[in-house]
Homo-oligomer: A and B are copies of this chain.
């Protein structure tokens, strides 16, 4: 906090750990720590308890790879979801983002990253063989590759498509590219515009 100590090391440790959260820098971590210790009953104690529960209960779903407090997870064990469609995502944050869009009521599969030979990340480092197992066990009609529109994401999509080619009854699809809803053409890159033109639809 400064060369001189203004509080015990326990508070400085709390600040240092809070600063590791995404979205909090050193300054806002200090504010957050102060807020916590000044709202002990309303915030610090409940949050410490919620974290303790998370430490004890949160794990990885052995079916789809998402994080949850149950295994199989809330999604995999939801009978109202269409188990014949698997949406493949890179990360749990992508799964949560798609769920917020409420566009599909399917099952998911979290890869845990993308293929990246330069970083030494090969197929065995991703949750791909479990995906093959799930498709192989039957009942899957469609695999939607909802990976990021980056080079690594697309490379990973191509690899998985190749792997899934042997399942002739399984349709492999990917997200549409185009102009984001609410997006202004002037601010979009040429690649997106070219793709949006090529994939134009009847008005």
- A residues neighboring B (CB under 8 Å): 1-11, 13-14, 17-18, 20-24, 28, 30-32, 34-38, 40, 43-48, 50-55, 57-58, 66-70, 73-75, 78, 92-93, 95-96, 99-100, 102, 105
Contacts and interface: CB of A to CB of B under 8 A. Distances in A.
Q: How many copies does the complex hold?
A: 2
A4 B102 contact: yes
Given A8-B74, A37-B67, A17 B47 contact: yes
Nearest to A101: B2
A22 B14 contact: no
A1 to B, nearest CB: 7
B2 A68 contact: no
Contacts of A55: 40, 44-45, 48
Contacts of A46: 17
A48 B45 contact: no
